[in-house]
Structure 1
């Protein structure tokens, strides 16, 4: 590995470390505006068992901006068959797939560019991972070997990563 590659890797690692240290501050007392809004919405629906809400406003390293929110009533979630989510979670359950998603969100969108990455496997293995992610809806192709995370999956992916943080 030449000096330029080593510096680039160090810069990426520093960015990761800096990003890990920067978490949103815990709300002060009375500042649960999202939670209070959710409770008001749920009361209007007669949802006594509660619900969940996740939302986000994100600017990617590519400059693209995404804003997204969704919520669900707890009773509906508990009544639902959760087995349908297994494929989606399984697609995220491999370190190389998570790396590919991060690289794609960062602007490395072609299969050829992804194949140049270290520690991601052979071209065949990369295509296997891309197919898994595409099949589960975490990616879609935009033509000519280009991939992107669908707009409606950017914030949910980041929410899952935040929830999985040790």
Structure 2
């Protein structure tokens, strides 16, 4: 091997090491990132990036509460209805086929407690704009996990 070949091999190894390196926050575990640019009553741009190791350190109780709130079919339907914009309690109940305000407020309380929806004005609910892309990501990820979407 000539001196030039040795230097070339060394440079190739250094480039491979640099290009193969994962996110600097945690080179061993990598990172998770999601982003979106959507128009749900106004253009929203959202990007978030965490090291994979830090995701595992997020409080489990908060994650579980959000997933449980979205995991109920009625609550999922309420969220889908609110993606079209703010709605009154009566409009939400009609949209998802609830016959009592007690049923509605039970589900609204779970979604509010999980910080997914907020009361916009007296009797009107909405999904806060910074939550829309994360909610859509969760819906997409759930479909992906359930094999409804095919990556690639």
Alignment partner of 1:59 is 2:36: no
Structure 1 segments of 4 or more deviating over 4 A? none
| 1:4-83 mapped onto 2 (5 Å cutoff) | 42-43=23-24, 45=25, 47-60=27-40, 63-83=41-61
Are residues 118 and 162 of structure 1, via their aligned partners in 2, closer, same or farther at CA, if it must alter by over 3 Å?
A: closer
SS of 2:32's equivalent in the other structure is strand
| Contact 1:96-1:129 within 8 A present in 2 as well | yes
| Structure-2 residue corresponding to 1:156 | 134
Residues of 1 paired with 2:96 and 2:70: CA distance?
19
What TM-score do the two structures reach when normalised by structure 2? Answer: 0.73
**Over aligned residue pairs, what C-alpha RMSD do you find?**
2.1
What TM-score do the two structures reach when normalised by structure 1? Answer: 0.67
Gaps of 5+ in 1: 1-38
Gaps of 5+ in 2: 1-19
> How far 1:104 moved relative to its partner?
1.2
SS of 2:79's equivalent in the other structure is helix
Count of residues in correspondence between the two structures? 125
